[in-house]
Amino acid sequence: MTNEIWRSENASLDQSSLVLNFVDNMTMGVGFEVLVDGNPASANGVTSGGQEVVAMGASLMTRTAQETELKLSGAFASGTHSVTIELVPTRMDPHPELTLLGGSVDGVALTGIAANIYGGDNYTFDFTGAAPTVPGPISIGSGSSSIDLYLSEDAYLGNAEFTVSVDGAQVGGVYAVTAINSINQSEEFILNGDFTAGSTYEISIDFINDLYGGASTADRNLFLKSAQFGGATISGSNFGLYSSGTQSFSFTDGTATTGSSGGSEGSSGSDVAGSLTYVGVNEGMGPNAPQVGAGVYGTNWTYPTDAEMDYEKSQGMNIIRLGFLDDRVATNASGTLSAAGLALLDPIVDYATSIGLKVILDDHEYGDWFGTELGTGTAASNTADSEYDTFWANLASNFADNPDVLFGLMNEPNQQTAAQWAGVAQGAIDSIRATGASQEILVSGTNWDGAASWYSSSSDGSTNASALLGITDPDNNMAFEVHSYPDPSGGGTSAATNTTTGVDRLQAVTQWAITNHETLFLGETGGGTSTTSLEAIDNELNYIQANSDVWQGVTEWSAGPWWGNYQYTLEPTELTDTGTTAYNQPQMTQLDTFAPTYTGSPWTI
Residue 412 bears catalytic tag: yes
Tell me, what amino acid is at 303?
A: Y
d(CA 581, CA 154): 45
Return the closest-CA partner of residue 79 out of 158, 168, 9. Answer: 9
Report whether 78 contacts 131 (CB < 8 A).
yes
Angle between helices 379-398 and 418-434 (to 10 degrees): 40
Phi-psi region of 368 (alpha: psi -120 to 50; beta: other; left: phi over 0): beta
Report whether 456 contacts 219 (CB < 8 A).
yes
Tell me, what amino acid is at 85?
A: I
CA dihedral angle for residue 89, residue 91, residue 92, residue 94, rounded to 10 degrees: 40
Report whether 71 contacts 1 (CB < 8 A).
no
Report whether 7 contacts 217 (CB < 8 A).
yes
d(CA 330, CA 324): 10
**Could you say which of 308, 440, 524, 540 is catalytic?**
524
In degrees and rounded to multiples of 5, residue 421 shows phi and psi of: -70, -35
Geometric angle at alpha carbon 178, from 175 and 183, rounded to 5°: 145
Between β-strands 232-233 and 520-524, what pairing exists: parallel, antiparallel or unpaired? unpaired
In degrees and rounded to multiples of 5, residue 544 shows phi and psi of: -70, -30
How far from 10 is each of 210, 265, 451, 496, CA to CA, in Å?
A: 17, 21, 18, 13
Return the closest-CA partner of residue 567 out of 503, 500, 493, 499. Answer: 493
Residue 524 bears catalytic tag: yes
Report whether 509 contacts 493 (CB < 8 A).
no
**Could you say which of 412, 481, 540, 571 is catalytic?**
412
How far from 430 is each of 80, 403, 406, 436, 477, CA to CA, in Å?
A: 53, 18, 15, 10, 12
Helices assigned H by DSSP within 180-265: none
Geometric angle at alpha carbon 441, from 346 and 216, rounded to 5°: 110
d(CA 186, CA 191): 15
Where is 464: in which H helix or E strand? helix 464-467
Give Dmax over CA atoms of the chain in angstroms: 80
User: 10 Å Cβ neighbour count for 600?
Assistant: 8
Report whether 428 contacts 409 (CB < 8 A).
yes
Report whether 506 contacts 538 (CB < 8 A).
no
- Catalytically annotated residues: 412, 524
